[in-house]
Chain A
Amino acid sequence: MLIAVLILAALGVAFGLGLGWAALRFRVDSDPVVERIDALLPQTQCGQCGYPGCRPYAEAIASDQADINQCPPGGEAGIRALADLLGREAKPLNPENGEETAKTVVRIDEARCIGCTLCIQACPVDAIVGAAKLMHTVIRAECTGCNLCLPPCPVDCIDIVAAETHPPRWQRPRPPGAPDGLIRQ
C-alpha cells in the first residue's frame, strides 16, 4: 500500500519536473494564433481596418478586440478564411472599413513630382524610391495598393491604376454553368 503510494508520488514528481522542463525548453514566444491570422491577411498594411498594419489587426482579432470583417483588401474570401480558422460564422464586410475593390497599384507622374519625399515616408513597404528634390518612382511589383502615399503628396502627382491583368498575368474566368452539388452556399 505504502509502496504503491510512494511509487505514484515519485512518478508524479518525475512527470511534473519533465513537463516543467519541457514548458521552459519549448516555450513559444509569440502567440501562434496571431501568426496564423496574420498569414491569412493580405499584408497591404493599408490601415483600413483601423489598426496600423496587418499584424496589429491580427493581434486585435486574436485578443477579441476586433471583428474578422474589417479588412477590405482581403474581401469576402479573406473573411471566410478567417472564419474557418477561428471557427466563427462568416459575415459580410463591415462597410465602415471600406469596400472590396479590384487590386490596384499607384503610379507617380514623374513630370509633376517635386521630390518632396513625403510619399516615401508614408509607404509601409518601401516600394517608392527617390531622394530629396529628385524624381520618385514606384516599384510596381512591390506596391500593395494601400494608397497611403496619396494624402501626403502636395502636388497630387500619384495616380491609382489597375494592376496588370494582361497575359501572362491573365486569369482564366470561371466556366459558365452551375455546379451540380454546391457544398457551400
Chain B
Amino acid sequence: MTATRQDLPVPATGRQIHGFHGGLRLRHHKKVSCALAVERPPLPDRLIVPLLQHAGGMAEPLVRAGDAVLKGQPIGVCQPCATVHAPVSGYVEAIEDRPMSHPSGQPGPCVIIRPDGREQWTRLGPLDDWQNASPDTLITQMQNCGLAGLGGAVFPTHEKMRDGRERKTHTLILNGAECEPWISCDEMLMREQPGKVILGARILRRALGAEHVVIAVEDQMGAVQAALVGCREFGESRNISLVKVPAIYPEGGERQLIQVLTGLEVPAGGRPSDIGLVCQNVATAAAVAEAVSTGKPLIERYVTVTGNGIAQPRNFLALFGTPVAHLVECCGGYREDVARLVVGGPMMGFPLDTDAAPVVKASNCILALTRGDIATPQVEMPCIRCGECARVCPAKLLPQQLHLQVTNELWEQAQEYGLGACIECGCCDAVCPSHIPLVEWFRFGKSELRKRALETAASELARRRHEEREARLSREQRERAEKLARRKQTLRDKTTQQDRIRASIERAAQRDSRRTDDPEGGSSGGA
C-alpha cells in the first residue's frame, strides 16, 4: 500500500473535478438563514449537557449535583472518545435523564447546569508554539478539548487523526461542501471566521504530517470563496488550495467528496486513510484552531435555525446544552402552522419529539417544518422494480434488492449486497414512485447488522473465556493429582528409607547380640 501511495494523484495539483454515481439536484433554501449576522443568543436559564455526545460511547460524569463548575471545565470523560466540558460557569443542579437530541428519542443522562452569569473560564492550556509542537501533543490537545467531527457524525477527531498519521496521509481535505438543503452553518462560519478555518487546516496538516490541504466548497457559495481567499492566513499559507465543487446532493458525504476531488473511490469497508487522505469538516478545523491557539475546549458551535415554521431563520453560535426552544424563541418563535422539528437537514435529519432537547456537538441545524412541507403521507405501494433508486444511489447499491432482504430479515444476503455501505442520504426515498420509506428500512437493517456483530463478538468472548476456564480447571485438577502422587511417592520413599534404617539397626542389634554371645570374634564384624 505504501509503495503505491506515492503514485496516487494528489488533488491539490490537479484541479480537475470528477463525478460520482447518482445523486440529486435539490433546491437549496440556504439564503433564507444567511441574511442576519451570526450572534450568540442570550444565556438560557439552564443548560442541559448530555453525556452521550460522540460516536463511540457515553461519558462518565466527573461532577456531582451541587458542584460549582467553571466555563470549559471537563465534566465528563470517556475512553477512547472525547471529553465533555461545561459550557458556562455556574453550578450543577442535577445529573438526570433528560431528552438529549439523539435519533432514538430516548432520554439519557445529562448534566444540568445553572449559569451564574460570570462566564469565568477555567485555566486554559493553549499551545502557543504549535508550529514546533509534536503531532502527538497536538492530537492529545484535540482529545482534551473534546473535539469531534462537527459535520454531524461526531467521530472523535483525535482518533481519526491518529489513524491518518499512522497511515501516512499526504492530503487533508476540508469539507465545506454543505450539500443538504436548508443548512448554512458551515457557510456562515467560513464567511465570518475564514482565518480560523485556515489556521485549523494548517494545524491539522501538521498533526497529520500531510503536505497538501484542499478546501472544498460548493460553487454557489460565492461569498465564502471571497472570504477564504481574501483572508490574511490564506495568503500566508503554502500548499492550500480552494476547489469549487458542483452542488449535487450528497456531495458533502466524505466518500462522494473524495471521489469528486480525486476520482478515487474509498474501498468498501475501508477508510479514506487507506488511500492517503483524511477528510475533516471546516467547523472541526475552526474548533481545532480555537483549541490549539487559545486552549478553549469545544463548548459551542454554529447552528442553523431555519425552515418555513420559523419566524426569522438565522444562524447562532450556540453553547452546547442550550435548549432548542430557547433558540427558536430568539428567532422570533414558531410560525402558526409549524408541524415538526427535525435535527439536521430534511434528507438525513431525525425528528425531535420535544424542543426541550438541547443543542449538542452533532446539531448542525434545527429545521421546523410546516404542515405544508410534510406532504400527506403517501400510501406505500409495492416495489415495481423501476430501478430509479439504483440510478440515484451514490454508494452504487441496489436499494430495491436491499429492501427485499431487510424486510425479510435475510441478513447475510443484505450484508453481501453492501447494506453497511449505505450512507442513509435519502436519494432513493426521494425518487421512489411507490413511496417506500427505503432509508427507514436501511437504518433498521444497519442497526440490526451492528447488533449482530456485537452479539457475535460477545459470544466469541464467552466461548474463549469458557474454554480457558475449562482448560484452567483441568490443569488445576491435573496439578493436584500430580502433587498428590508426588507426595505419596515421597511418603513411600520415606517408608522405605525408614525400613532400611530399621533393618540396619536390626542387623546391628543382631551383630551386637552375636558379639555378646561370642566375645572372642569382636574385631571381625565391623559395620
Residues in chain A within 8 A of chain B (CB atoms):
38, 41-45, 53-54, 124-127, 142, 144, 166-168, 170-175, 177, 179-184
Q: Which residue of B lies closest to A38 (CB)?
A: B463
Q: Is B237 an interface residue (CB 8 A)?
A: no
Name A168's contact: one of B52, B444, B468 (CB within 8 Å): B52
Contact assessment for B465 and A126 in the assembled complex, using a CB-CB cutoff below 8 Å = yes
Distance in angstroms from B422 CB to nearest chain A CB is 13
Give 13 pairs: A residue, B residue, CB < 8 Å, sorted on A: A41-B459, A43-B458, A124-B466, A167-B58, A171-B451, A172-B443, A173-B444, A177-B380, A179-B407, A180-B407, A181-B382, A181-B407, A181-B408
Contacts of A174 in B (CB 8 A): 444
Contacts A38-B463, A144-B458, A180-B383 given; 7 further ones with Cβ under 8 A? A125-B466, A126-B468, A144-B462, A168-B58, A175-B441, A177-B380, A179-B408
- B465 surroundings in chain A (CB, below 8 A): 125-127, 142
Min CB distance A133 to B, Å, is 21
Complex contact A43–B466 (CB within 8 A): yes
Q: Is the CB of A166 within 8 A of B108?
A: yes
Provide the bound-state CA to CA distance between A168 and B108, in Å: 10
- Given A124-B469, A180-B382, the answer on whether A43 and B462 have CB atoms closer than 8 Å is yes
- B residues near A (Cβ < 8 Å) are 52, 55-58, 102-104, 106, 108, 380, 382-383, 404, 407-410, 437, 440-441, 443-444, 447-448, 451, 455, 458-463, 465-466, 468-469
Q: Which of A168, A170, A177 touches B56 (beta carbons < 8 Å)?
A: A168
- Give the distance in Å from the alpha carbon of A56 to the alpha carbon of B50 in the complex: 46
A168:B57 contact, CB within 8 angstroms: yes
- Cβ–Cβ < 8 Å partners of A38 in chain B: 463
Q: Using known A-B contacts A124-B469, A126-B465, determine if residue A184 contacts B58 with beta carbons closer than 8 Å.
A: no
For A126, what are the chain B residues with a Cβ–Cβ distance below 8 Å? 465, 468-469
Given contacts A126-B468, A180-B383, A184-B408, contact A167 B444 (CB under 8 A): no
- Chain B residues contacting A183 (CB-CB under 8 Å) are 404, 408, 410
Query: Are A167 and B404 within 8 A (Cβ)?
Result: no
Tell me if A181 and B466 are in contact (CB < 8 A): no
CB contact between A167 and one of B106, B382, B463 (< 8 Å): that residue = B106
Contacts of A182 in B (CB 8 A): 407-408
Residues of A within 8 A of B408 (CB): 179, 181-184
B104 engages A167 (CB within 8 Å): yes
Residues from chain A with a CB closer than 8 A to the CB of B58 are 166-168
Q: How far is the CA of A183 from the CA of B383 in the complex (A)?
A: 15
Do A54 and B463 touch (CB < 8 A)?
yes
Closest CB of chain A to B363's CB: distance in Å? 15
CA–CA, A167 and B57, complex, Å: 8
Distance in angstroms between the alpha carbons of A184 and B108 in the assembled complex: 37
Of A125, A171, A172, A179, the residue contacting B462 (CB under 8 A) is: A125
| Distance of A172 Cα from B404 Cα, bound (Å) | 18
Contact (A125, B469) CB under 8 Å given A142-B461, A179-B407: yes
Contact A170 to B437, CB < 8 A, known contacts A43-B459, A125-B465: no
Whole-angstrom CA separation of A180 from B404 in the bound complex: 8
- B432, chain A: closest CB distance, angstroms: 13
Are A175 and B462 closer than 8 Å at their CB atoms?
Answer: no
Nearest first, the 7 A-B pairs at minimum CB distance are A179-B407, A172-B447, A43-B459, A43-B462, A180-B382, A125-B465, A170-B104
Closest approach, in angstroms, between the C-beta of A147 and any C-beta of chain B?
A: 14
- Bound-state CA distance A184–B408 (Å) is 7
A47 to B55, CA, bound (A): 37
Contacts of B380 in A (CB 8 A): 177
CB pair A171–B447 under 8 Å, yes or no, is yes
B52 near A167: Cβ-Cβ < 8 Å: yes
Question: Once bound together, how far apart are the Cα atoms of A44 and B394, in whole Å?
Answer: 41
Report how far A162 CA is from B52 CA in the complex, Å: 20
